[in-house]
Chains A and B, each alone.
Chain A
Amino acid sequence: MKEIVCKLLVIGAGPGGYVCAIRAGQLGIDTVIVEASRPGGTCLTVGCIPSKALIHAAETLDATRQMANGKNTMGIRVEAPSIDLSGTIGWKDGIVDRLTGGVVGLLQKARVKIVSGRARFRDGKTVEVETETGQQIIRAETVVIATGSDPVELAALPFGGRVISSTEALSLRELPSKLIVVGGGYIGLELGTAFAKLGSEVTVVEATEQVLPIYDADLVKPVTRRLVERGIKVFTNAKAVGLSDKGDALVVEGSGGRQELPAEQILVAVGRRPRSVGSGLEDLDLDRSGPYLRIDDRCRTSMRGVYAIGDVTGEPMLAHRAMAQGEMVAEIVAGRKRAWDKRCIPSICFTDPEIVSAGLLPREARALGYEVKVGQFPFTANGRAMTMQGEDGFVRVVARADTNLVLGLQAVGSVVSELSAAFSMAIEMGARLEDIGGTIHAHPTRSEALQEAALKAMGHALHI
């Protein structure tokens, strides 16, 4: 087969890779992208998007069940609802198909050549791809590694049979009666909560003393309270040892000793590891930073002309970080002067209720030596929250005590994920408390709590 020679080769068509390729195409760079499975990567095919579809279906079913149980105070009555999980998964797959098809369309519109197959490095500028029609050699001036990450497998609980990763959990055609989730991070809690709402009996096993250990206790408390209300059992300081002898239960070792928890499915969600080995990557001998590829503020690796973006370069493993890196690298390749200068990368847990965080938590700001003001406004004092029957949680602002410069914004509550844009915008623009307090926030919305939190930090909140 004839060799392809191009200016830019992107390996991996996840959110980082495809954004990089589209932007490069827009800038008139002769670009090729290689993808081993479907375009869209973890995010579109087995991550963000499918999980949010499942969560939405679960919430809808749950809300309907609440109405059927007569627990509804709005006066709505419905007959016993039920779910056809197969239908739900089909609907979810339809969304994934639309989005992956959309990515292909966008790449084509940007005149990016798509090569399907697994890439293998021959050297830093040459890869071979096993395609359906044979081996394809691609030579490029510049290469972007965007190979992403895989779910971490536990040695004691290898994937297979009852033990599944998030990927399989998002494609179950039958609802497990008993589901154990190993790992109380955001992936485990999001999926665990969704399955509990769909009707599974769910148990969460977390090795540290708190679920969602990266956040502070105030933010996590509304989530743990809801887990309890929902009947989800949470074992903290507990270690998953392995399957029982019969293989139908998980052996857990905790403060109360060893016990067996029966399970139909065991979802292992203990994190993700970068795909930084294999595919000839180790022969390139790139500098590492732990298991990740080491990059500088321009996403350059230790080899000239080889860039890396996304999960393979480290935490936080978030699609929007990868996209921003991909866009930046494309512009650098086009000769523009760019460097990573973001002030924050917002993060969201689509738990019940949701958590969103941008910038520094109060404890992080203090640990860095800042004297801080913290303002927190509860949704119990927000009219819109009442009308939506979701008064749990609050919005919190962290600002420098000397200049009122906003260092961090967090919220926990129903649908607060949509506040993320306001949060990161405020931090990137260098907002002070006065800026947020002095901006009209439309009534009645949950976003009013943001303005009130800023006012509260300055000592003059209006509605509390």
Chain B
Amino acid sequence: MGEFIIKMPDVGEGVAEAEIVEWLVKIGDPVREDMAVAAVMTDKATVEIPTPVSGTVVWLGGEIGDTIAVRSPLIRIETDGEDNGAAVPPPASVTTEEPKPEQAAPAEIPEKSSSPAPSTASPPPPRPATEMDKPLAAPSVRLLARDNGVDLRQIRGTGPAGRILREDVEQFLAQGMEVQPARQDLAKKTSKEEIKLIGLRRRIAEKMALSISRIPHITYVEEVDVTALEELRATMNGARKPDQPKLTLLPFLMRALVKAISIQPDVNAIFDDDAGMLTRFGAVHIGIATQTPSGLTVPVVRHAEARSIWDCATEMMRLAEAARAGTATRDELTGSTITISSLGALGGIVSTPVINHPEVAIVGVNKIATRPVWDGAQFVPRKMMNLSSSFDHRIIDGWDAATFVQQLRTLIEAPALIFIEG
């Protein structure tokens, strides 16, 4: 019997540790080559770790939520073949099946094969979606899912090559049933549930606490007349080419931000308060706060200053879909210099956006509503929208914050200005 140790792979440049977000196997489980055994997360990208060998799991390197250093042992697999484990002196802890990570010091672990990391660390370049990208499942399984209203993209297949099996769908359905509360009107409910924050939710919690505790926010709300912009948007959408996406308001706001930032570059910056250093950027990398099934992520539209409005829209859509599908790469989720938060679709007149640390500004978009506006002689119906923006008050004075938002308002109310050169 041989033993194979899978180590935490180097999942991204400059990443020293990663959090275990899911064990896909447990001790005693048989595993086959290429099967995913664990999901780990760094920053915001989740990566599945496959096993390069077949065998039986004898040891797991931690609990869900634990942070493991890169190249530390993650999982031990007992293999049948001599070839995989002949040279390994099995650590004493193996037979007891007790998790004793301290005994598995990295020095004791011989390199068995090249780390599985290279295949998972650098995701392949994006390519157009095809029939072959659809969730892998036999026609009978697809039918079962459809009849039960299940989107197969939600299910992780346990079959070979990630194939979704009938059992996977049935298990998913069974879990769904449990979540649905039984109808017990007026009955006392005494249960309580402790949920350990793991993965993305924990990241979000840490990040929000950091932003609010370190950054003195100033939030400024202004009302903007978007009637002209909405007319322009409808015209552009009506005349768009088949390969162009439907424009929402956000690409216009992105281009307006680029213009306003060229006048007030201070808002497009990151502030390292430990070092007392403000870094202003020529590039405008706009983070777009995006709701995904597992929580808030901020995919980044890079170099908005060098993108046309259509290009901004295309890239934003691509990133939002990737973020929702969980396929966005680490690079696509980091490196923003300013952020847009849009809750407009849900309604709401004002929000107090939390700055995406270590940035210094965030612009929030509220709902567009047709309101009566006094034009000096009468009330006229105008499409009005509020912008709720927060700034780091250590860097941006109230006067400058207001000037920036007023500049945005001017650009949005006369949208031709967004497109004028210089």
Q: Name the residue among B119, B125, B130 with the largest chain A CB count within 10 angstroms.
A: B130
User: Which of B154-162, B205-213, B353-361, B383-391 is the contact stretch?
Assistant: B154-162
Per the bound structure, the CA–CA distance linking A432 and B163 in Å amounts to: 10
A360 at the interface (CB under 8 A from B): yes
User: Do the beta carbons of A430 and B146 come within 8 Å of each other?
Assistant: no
Per the bound structure, the CA–CA distance linking A244 and B149 in Å amounts to: 63
- Chain A residues lying within 8 Å of B321, measured Cβ to Cβ, are none
Shortest Cβ distance from A361 into chain B, in angstroms?
12
Q: A-facing mask of B28-47, CB < 8 A → 1, else 0? A: 00000010000000000000
User: Do the beta carbons of A368 and B130 come within 8 Å of each other?
Assistant: yes
Q: Name the residue among A338, A339, A343, A407 with the largest chain B CB count within 10 angstroms.
A: A343
A402 at the interface (CB under 8 A from B): yes
Per the bound structure, the CA–CA distance linking A407 and B134 in Å amounts to: 12
Query: Which one of B127, B139, B149, B163 lies within 8 Å of A369 (CB-CB)?
Result: B127
Shortest Cβ distance from A357 into chain B, in angstroms?
14
Shortest Cβ distance from A459 into chain B, in angstroms?
15
A344 at the interface (CB under 8 A from B): yes
Query: Which one of B127, B147, B159 lies within 8 Å of A368 (CB-CB)?
Result: B127
Per the bound structure, the CA–CA distance linking A429 and B163 in Å amounts to: 9
Q: A-facing mask of B134-155, CB < 8 A → 1, else 0? A: 1011110010001101000000
User: Do the beta carbons of A403 and B134 come within 8 Å of each other?
Assistant: no
Closest residue to B146 on the A side, CB-wise? Answer: A337
User: Do the beta carbons of A430 and B147 come within 8 Å of each other?
Assistant: no
B contact residues, range: 20 to 34
Query: Which one of B130, B136, B149 lies within 8 Å of A430 (CB-CB)?
Result: B136
Whether A341 touches B161, Cβ cut-off 8 Å, given contacts A368-B127, A369-B125, A369-B127, is: no
User: Do the beta carbons of A343 and B160 come within 8 Å of each other?
Assistant: no
Shortest Cβ distance from B140 into chain A, in angstroms?
9
User: Do the beta carbons of B146 and A403 come within 8 Å of each other?
Assistant: no
**In the complex, chain A residues 417-436 whose Cβ is within 8 Å of any chain B Cβ:** 428-430, 432, 434-435
Q: A368-B127, A405-B136, A407-B132 are in contact. List 11 more A-B contacts (CB 8 A).
A: A339-B146, A341-B134, A343-B131, A344-B131, A368-B132, A403-B34, A428-B138, A429-B139, A430-B137, A430-B161, A434-B160
A342 at the interface (CB under 8 A from B): yes
B422 at the interface (CB under 8 A from A): no
B181 at the interface (CB under 8 A from A): no
User: Do the beta carbons of A338 and B132 come within 8 Å of each other?
Assistant: no
Shortest Cβ distance from A289 into chain B, in angstroms?
9
Query: Which one of B131, B142, B161 lies within 8 Å of A405 (CB-CB)?
Result: B161
- Chain B residues lying within 8 Å of A339, measured Cβ to Cβ, are 146
Per the bound structure, the CA–CA distance linking A149 and B147 in Å amounts to: 33
Query: Which one of B132, B147, B161, B163 lies within 8 Å of A359 (CB-CB)?
Result: B132
Closest residue to A407 on the B side, CB-wise? Answer: B132
- Chain B residues lying within 8 Å of A342, measured Cβ to Cβ, are 131
Chain B residues at the A interface, C-beta cutoff of 8 Å: 34, 119, 124-125, 127-128, 130-132, 134, 136-139, 142, 146-147, 149, 159-163
Per the bound structure, the CA–CA distance linking A402 and B142 in Å amounts to: 24
**In the complex, chain A residues 341-396 whose Cβ is within 8 Å of any chain B Cβ:** 341-344, 359-360, 368-370
Closest residue to A405 on the B side, CB-wise? Answer: B161
A-B CB contact pairs (8 Å), 16 listed: A336-B146, A336-B147, A337-B146, A339-B146, A341-B146, A360-B130, A368-B127, A369-B124, A369-B127, A400-B161, A405-B136, A428-B139, A429-B138, A430-B136, A430-B159, A430-B161
**In the complex, chain A residues 76-98 whose Cβ is within 8 Å of any chain B Cβ:** none
Closest residue to A289 on the B side, CB-wise? Answer: B242
- Chain B residues lying within 8 Å of A167, measured Cβ to Cβ, are none
Shortest Cβ distance from A437 into chain B, in angstroms?
13
Shortest Cβ distance from B333 into chain A, in angstroms?
21
- Chain B residues lying within 8 Å of A344, measured Cβ to Cβ, are 131
Per the bound structure, the CA–CA distance linking A260 and B76 in Å amounts to: 77
Shortest Cβ distance from B397 into chain A, in angstroms?
49
Closest residue to A365 on the B side, CB-wise? Answer: B132
Per the bound structure, the CA–CA distance linking A368 and B132 in Å amounts to: 10
